[in-house]
Chain A
């Protein structure tokens, strides 16, 4: 793992305080940590292991098992391409290729300037509008490769689709 920046543990303490200090809290705590830091920093995992009295190895096993967690810093904007079956047969693969062309990164990679992370997800349950792309919190239905620059532009036009 690359050298990670030092993180502020105060937020971790706040998160830990909201849950009973036991193993069943582990996934919920990690989810909150991930949301707060945009990834799971090493120092935080050690603190979580200690606070919940779970072996660090187990914390790592959970952190790497679930797809929602990343041990590397993520980009400011997460670009998710749905690759569910309906999206697959309606051309999700072409969206992933277009992202590769435009951002120079493939799935699970982050641009060097930490602006974008590209992910593929297994069905977001919006199959009727396949193929679907989610940029930040914004869903784009019937997404087309030619419209990629607009999807990636900040904000996006709310009324267009």
Chain B
């Protein structure tokens, strides 16, 4: 069936809702990349088999739905029961029969499968009562985890394409742009440029042919919100792009997806095919006379292609080298024609903004940063996963209330935001409300929403070096300040972590950083020194310890760190013995264990497994003073 009018769309929507209502009872199995890795596909299949075998599908209208990412990936595979709202974590396929018997048929909860709150060890039954979910407000991720991403009717039942119908039949293109302007939405890819301003600038550019692009080249390590949106609710991205194209008068669109996201490509392809079949994409959309189609382009695995001009070169089949910023891509973008490129999360929000109105979106957030923002909360935090919150939420709330605090209750040290272009925010700024301006003031940036929490076992010199090594590899090499600046800085950092640091190194790093900020061609190079400068700003003493004392205060840099077992604390559990990759540990069960320094490679594997914290680190320099054991 093809939708030929607004009435037909409304009829389809009613049909989709009726079908959804007929399945009052649902088993939602998360099939995002995270849960798939822990075997959720087998769990979903087991549920489907078990329910069919018992005839429950017909009898009580029970349906198994495989959804996109619920965000709580660490606890996967996740299974939600509707309408009860019960969440089971770490569900194994072999327990499915028992779950169907006890919970689905018997109506009893299996306590062992419920989420255990790490704060007070209480089991929590209800999905929405879990702190990780309770504080979230979802706009871009509104349907993720609720719908089957490969079933367009499921999406339509949950308001997909309702904003599009409203735009096509009730609004002029300029009214659509005005509504987006009212929402105050800013680009979710990192820089935070106003969406409406970008659109207006493109619309004002002369020419008939123009493009609407979606940046799904989510390259920041530690960020995966775009992956989850493309996998879990691809229709929200398509709807946003169609509305954008209508507002701009564009007829061709591309989604540029990272090569590392195979499931996102598959789900987007299915969504595009289904939308075309219903007449929601392609020629004469919903019978409105407006034509627009979308193609998918898989990236080639280059971080720099997340930069707008590099992405467009890549779409043209060329190498992804950025060009100078004075040429605006809204005027001369893809194939030198006017182009709007927005991030996945930006597009995913557009449908909801048009559907609910710009004022609804603008009511959330802070003065200059409106609405909600998706973050991936990862690293040394108890509840890792994907969250969406109003702008202006404090880091403390995010890390301690939603994240449940630091893994193993170790001390918090810093949170890294903004990927390789961002920086590390220290403990004294934990009450910082998160928005574009505040993070930039703190020397970091919003970036694509990665939040990597670090504890005291994280060396800030090593973290800065990590990003430098990443960027050195990913720099496209077109301009000298970025290419050479990174290489030279990395050489200094290599010396620092190996104990070859010299007085004056910090000043050399700062001089190089300034040159890169001033001289690099694209934002990637200009922002490349951010991780370096922010760690220097907040953790300078750690740098000084590396240089002056040849010591790594966090006990991470291997060349500077030695490990030993504190005799009083060792209970002889033998775990370190098994974990040691070089057989440097000697000892038998229930006896004191000893580390042989000549065989130890300072990898820290023993430290991580020791349940009694009997292993301590100390500067290797002290070893040289004693006789080597």
Contact = CB atoms under 8 A, between A and B. Distances in A.
B342 interface: no
B378 A25 contact: no
Interface stretch (B135-143, B313-321, B348-356, B479-487): B313-321
Contact of B33 (A83, A101, A124): A124
A68 B297 CA distance: 14
Interface stretch (A4-12, A109-117, A138-146): A138-146
Interface in B595-623: 603-605, 608
Interface string B357-385: 00000000000000000001011100011
A100 B625 CA distance: 32
B221 A27 contact: no
Nearest to B264: A125
B236 to A, nearest CB: 18
B34 interface: yes
Nearest to B218: A125
A126 B385 CA distance: 9
Contact of B379 (A86, A101, A141): A86
A28 B222 contact: no
A125 B261 contact: yes
Contacts of A101: 581
Contact of B384 (A54, A122, A127): A127
B581 A94 contact: yes
Given A88-B466, A129-B74, A123 B39 contact: no
Interface stretch (B163-171, B299-307, B532-540): B299-307
Interface residues of A, number: 51
B92 interface: yes
Given A31-B300, A127-B384, A89 B581 contact: no
A103 B222 CA distance: 28
B558 to A, nearest CB: 9
Contact of B260 (A22, A27, A121, A128): A121
B253 to A, nearest CB: 15
Interface string A58-83: 10011001111100000000000001
B259 to A, nearest CB: 5
A25 B317 contact: yes
A90 B320 CA distance: 31
B217 to A, nearest CB: 12
Contacts of B476: 65
Contact of B470 (A22, A67, A122, A124): A122
Contacts of B320: 65-66
B221 A123 contact: yes
A132 interface: yes
- Residue in A27, A91, A128, A138 whose Cβ sees the most chain B Cβ within 10 Å: A128
Interface in B556-582: 578-579, 581
Interface stretch (B269-277, B425-433, B450-458): B450-458
Nearest to A87: B221
Contact of A159 (B72, B94, B416): B94
B300 A69 contact: yes
- Residue in A23, A66, A69, A145 whose Cβ sees the most chain B Cβ within 10 Å: A66
B138 to A, nearest CB: 17
Contacts of A145: 581, 605
Nearest to B93: A159
Given A31-B300, A141-B34, A85 B221 contact: yes
B224 A125 contact: yes
A3 interface: no
B37 A141 contact: yes
Interface in B303-332: 303, 314-320
Contacts of B380: 89-90
Given A65-B320, A132-B37, A159-B93, A86 B221 contact: yes
Contacts of B314: 27
A161 B463 contact: no
B343 interface: no
B220 interface: yes
- Residue in B74, B261, B298, B301 whose Cβ sees the most chain A Cβ within 10 Å: B301
Nearest to A86: B378
A85 B37 contact: no
- Residue in A54, A65, A141, A161 whose Cβ sees the most chain B Cβ within 10 Å: A65
A128 B73 contact: yes
Contact of B39 (A26, A124, A161): A161
A68 B302 CA distance: 8
Contacts of B376: 127-128
A3 B328 CA distance: 46
B578 A24 contact: no
B303 A122 contact: yes
A31 B39 contact: no
Contacts of A129: 34, 37-38, 73-74, 76, 384
Contact of A127 (B219, B378, B467): B378
A90 B407 CA distance: 11
B378 A128 contact: yes
B397 to A, nearest CB: 19
A45 to B, nearest CB: 14
B220 A91 contact: no
A61 B386 CA distance: 37
Contacts of B93: 159
A127 to B, nearest CB: 4
9 contacts: A24-B317, A61-B319, A67-B301, A68-B259, A86-B452, A124-B33, A126-B34, A127-B223, A139-B36
Interface of B: 33-34, 36-39, 42, 72-74, 76, 92-94, 218-224, 227-228, 259-261, 297-303, 314-320, 376, 378-380, 384-386, 416, 419, 450, 452, 454, 458, 463, 466-467, 470, 474, 476, 578-579, 581, 603-605, 608
